[in-house]
Structures are given as structure tokens and as C-alpha cells.
Amino acid sequence: MSTPIRASSILPGHREEIELHTADGLRLVGELARPVDREPAGTLVCLHPLPTHGGMMDSHVLRKAAWRLPALADLAVLRFNTRGTSSVRGTSEGSFDSAVGERYDVAAAIEYAEFHELPNVWLLGWSFGTDLVLRYGCDPSVTGAILLSPPLRYSGAADLAQWAESGRPVTALVPEFDDYLRPEQARERFAVVPQAEVVGVPGAKHLWVGDAETVLDEVVRRVNPAVPVPLSTTWDGPMETGDASAYADRTVAAFADTPVSGPPQRRAE
């Protein structure tokens, strides 16, 4: 009997707690989720939103990717907390470094995927995570990048230029009502990357509340196009339930009045 897939649904997968070790001597906590009975067709290395404003490896889109995509789309999903970031999994060593020291975190995640021979590695960044992808993710072992709500705040022209030169696919999913960069602005900024695809998502906002399924469909469409989308919203088989309420206060909206270190914030008009 088919059961609806809800926000707290955990579909079958092989999940293991992992640790990443950075070149500057930090231990980062994370998780790798894989299909139960087959090799993955592709791998998502996830980079979460701004940790000073609630971002972490369990931010809801990334959590749903790990809970669903190994079963629905034959994908491996690697999530981790960048330096100084906490979640139920634990706290990574170090402290937030405004997208500077985080270069070592990105490198450690890519190296982990390469060492463990995870196939077809795509970087999936969200908000602050997109800046990390653009600055530090253009690695020979990376197939491409998917950017959710890119603010282009810590990344700039030189970072876009390296992706343009690499020729690796870049897809930016941009909410119609994003707080920082909206589809028309994003198309102008990403025009310097000839292969970049900017997808405006009608009605969506920066946090993707209510639109996680749309995001996952677009991710799967690019990373494993053999899987039909939209993905199923029901599951016929065993299913567990996670505690999705653990992070009710960990959203960007909850930190709206908290200053963000680094380059000045620019709100969308």
C-alpha cells in the first residue's frame, strides 16, 4: 500500500556518520546516505546556508535530499557541517570564517568523495553554500554545480570566470521572490558563464518553504536524467519518520535582524 511522502519521511537508504578532516587540522561532522542495494548513479555534496543564520547540514532541502534521493533517484548524498556549525549530528570543530577558512571544508568534502570513489560528483550549494561552491568548488573531480538561491555575496567575477573557463555545467535555481537575487538579476550576473543555466522558480522564496519538491526534481533532472520527474510523492514499502521539528527555530527568517559579517548585504528590489 502506498504511503504519502511527508516532510518527516525517511525512505530506505544506507546511512553512515562520517568525519571530514581539513588541511588546516579540523574535524567536521557529516553523513553519507547511499542507495540500499545498488551503486549510486551520482553524488551530491551539499553545502548548507549561512551557519550564523541557522544554516547547517540539516537545513530542510538538504535533509529531504538525504532522506529521499537514495531511494527515489539512485543518488548518494553527502552532507556535513562546515567549521563551527552544529546540528543533531554534532558540532564541527573551528569557527565560522566568512567564506575564507571554509575553502578547506569544501576541499575536504570533495577529497572524501574522490577517495571513496563516489561517482559523478555534483556540488549542491544553498545560499552561503553557493558562494562556497563558486569560490572553491571548481575542481577536476567535480562534474557540475547546482546553486539554490545564490546571493553572489562572498563570490565575485573571478569566481564566475573560473567556472566559465572550466566549461562545467552550472545551474542556478532562483526563487521569484528571493530576498537577495531574483531571476532577472541572476541572468545578468551569470551571463559571464556561457554554460550557466538560470531557472526562475515562480512563487518561490529564499528558504524554499513549500517548494522543496520542485528543487529535488530539478536536481535529479540534471544529476540523474534517467530518473523520471516529477519524483513520486508516495512510497510503497518501509518508511521511517524523522524529527523534523528539531529545527523549527533554525531558519534565516528567525535571524533577520542579526548582522552578517563579511561583504555588505544587498536586498533584492
Contact in structure between 14 and 34 (CB atoms under 8 Å): yes
**Domain regions of the chain by residue span:** 11-225
Q: For residues 233, 235, 241 and 244, what is the CA-based torsion angle, rounded to 10 degrees? A: -10
The hierarchical CATH code for the domain 11-225 is 3.40.50.1820
Per-residue pLDDT reduced to its tens digit, 176-219: 999 999 999 999 999 999 999 999 999 999 999 999 999 999 99
Contact in structure between 66 and 58 (CB atoms under 8 Å): no
Would you say residue 5 has pLDDT above 60?
A: yes
Mean pLDDT of 134-161: 97
Per-residue pLDDT reduced to its tens digit, 215-268: 999 999 999 999 999 999 999 999 999 987 767 666 655 445 565 666 766 666
pLDDT at 265: 62
CA-wise closest residue to 42 among 13, 12, 70, 11: 70
CA 65 to each of CA 72, 128, 135, 238, 258: distance values in angstroms, whole numbers, following the listed order:
10, 18, 23, 18, 28
